[in-house]
Amino acid sequence: MEHHQNHSQPGLNLATKHHLPKVLTIRPPTVFKSVESDFSQKFQLVKPGESQLPLDQFLATHAHDVRAMIASAATPVNSDLLRHLPSLKCIVTSSAGIDRIDLQECRRRGIAIANAGTVFSAVVADTAVALLIDVLRRVVAADRYVRGGNWPVKGDYPLGSKLGGKRVGIVGLGSVGMEVAKRLEAFGCTISYNSRKEKPSVSFPFYSNVCELATNCDILILCCALNDQTHHMINKEVLLALGKEGVIVNVARGAVIDEKELVRFLVQGDISGAGLDVFENEPEVPRELFALDNVVLSPHRAVFTEESTRDCVDLMFANLEAFFSNKPLLSLVKNQ
């Protein structure tokens, strides 16, 4: 990756390598593979995946000199792992979401967390809008119709719905939610939102109750973090409030929705459609959804483009450099 060429120090010998700061990588993000050699120029990567030892034994051998770790969205960082790492003071994750990290335990141990910040916000918003347009206009379903040879035989494909003029409720008006709002305003949609607290800088109507938001909207777009407050926030009551004509788009986390209820509503025609990038038990997706033409499915790829991936890797590198230089982290998770 050309972005990293300036990080390299060619000809690092083994002795020098051992003086590099140690960085633990457990189940590193997939994007990491292509840039690992660049990181290795500045950091000694500690990789339990390449050891024959059980994880706890492996960690015991490095416990006192590992001060930083790289985590992916798939790495559970819980108290069990952290007790093996008494010197750990910094976790750099490739994900904007931090629901797999035990924040309370990190706070107790004085561990700072740097996430992906806003590097993914624009591309996630693009995906949310793409899923919404696809659900309303049945782009993928119409594509299947054409490829299946149905057009000459069965005639014109059924009509979809217009996006402009729709009332859109955004759940979670952080950096992703704001990017979604900006895009949908340009389409002529009316925006309202639900968030942990009202944002004084925003002119959109605020609903402190998600049910009320759903009652007053045609479409719900989920952009919030997954935590104890938002787990199964979109339940039977909210789906009923959204109603038969309602559409839901989820680019947050699967468990923000009670998936069993969502499937039931979609199968019975009690809501109009859904665009889903995330699911409750990934990579498992409820099979009932496969047969529905009003549902668009995406394999948790909203954050990934070549550009956003490169930006994320650069941010991770910069966060680690900042940490080991005693400088402020670039994307510190505040109020963790």
Q: Is 284 a catalytic residue?
A: no
Of the candidates 62, 137, 264, 300, the residue annotated as catalytic is 300
Query: In this structure, are 128 and 78 located in the same domain?
Result: no
Residue 18: per-residue pLDDT: 63
Residue 318: per-residue pLDDT: 97
> What are the two backbone dihedrals, phi and then psi, of residue 207, each rounded to the nearest 5 degrees?
-120, 120
Among all chains, which residue has been given the structure tokens 């409750």?
280
Cα distances (Å, whole numbers) of residue 184 to 19, 129, 188, 258, 272: 51, 8, 7, 26, 19
- Closest to 92 (Cα-Cα) out of 266, 324, 335: 324
Assessment of whether the complete model's pTM goes beyond 0.85? yes
Question: CA-to-CA distance for 303 and 95, rounded, in angstroms?
Answer: 9
Query: In this structure, are 316 and 293 located in the same domain?
Result: no
- 266 occurs within a structural domain: yes
- Closest to 236 (Cα-Cα) out of 217, 210, 202: 210
Query: In this structure, are 128 and 77 located in the same domain?
Result: no
Helix, strand, coil in percent for the chain, rounding step 5: 40, 15, 45
Of the candidates 4, 138, 253, 310, the residue annotated as catalytic is 253
Q: Is 253 a catalytic residue?
A: yes
- 331 occurs within a structural domain: no
Query: In this structure, are 155 and 274 located in the same domain?
Result: yes
- The domain in which residue 240 lies consists of 121-297
- 329 occurs within a structural domain: no
What's the farthest any 2 CA atoms get from each other in the chain? 72
Of the candidates 36, 245, 282, 307, the residue annotated as catalytic is 282
Query: In this structure, are 158 and 240 located in the same domain?
Result: yes
Query: In this structure, are 215 and 197 located in the same domain?
Result: yes
Query: In this structure, are 140 and 58 located in the same domain?
Result: no
Structural element, H or E, at residue 150 = helix 150-154
Query: In this structure, are 209 and 289 located in the same domain?
Result: yes
Query: In this structure, are 132 and 256 located in the same domain?
Result: yes
- 113 occurs within a structural domain: yes
- 71 three-state secondary structure: strand
Query: In this structure, are 140 and 268 located in the same domain?
Result: yes
Residue 336: per-residue pLDDT: 60
Tens digits of pLDDT across the chain (336 residues): 444 444 444 444 444 556 899 999 988 887 788 889 999 999 999 999 899 999 999 999 998 899 999 998 888 999 999 999 999 999 999 999 999 999 999 999 999 999 999 999 999 999 999 999 999 999 999 999 999 999 999 999 999 999 999 999 999 999 999 999 999 999 999 999 999 999 999 999 999 999 999 999 999 999 999 999 999 999 999 999 999 999 999 999 999 999 999 999 999 999 999 999 999 999 999 999 999 999 999 999 999 999 999 999 999 999 999 999 999 999 999 876
Residue 84: per-residue pLDDT: 94
Question: CA-to-CA distance for 150 and 144, rounded, in angstroms?
Answer: 9
Query: In this structure, are 137 and 209 located in the same domain?
Result: yes
What is the domain-level CATH number for residue 142?
3.40.50.720
- 336 occurs within a structural domain: no
Cα distances (Å, whole numbers) of residue 241 to 14, 135, 235, 253, 262: 63, 19, 10, 21, 13
Ordered DSSP codes for 234-284: B-HHHHHHH-TT-EEEE-S-GGGB-HHHHHHHHHTTSS-EEEES--TBTTB
Residue 146: per-residue pLDDT: 98
- 131 occurs within a structural domain: yes
Q: Is 231 a catalytic residue?
A: no
Question: CA-to-CA distance for 189 and 239, rounded, in angstroms?
Answer: 21
- 92 occurs within a structural domain: yes
How many distinct structural domains can be found in the chain? 2
Query: In this structure, are 41 and 104 located in the same domain?
Result: yes
Question: CA-to-CA distance for 284 and 46, rounded, in angstroms?
Answer: 31
- 335 occurs within a structural domain: no
Residue 230: per-residue pLDDT: 97
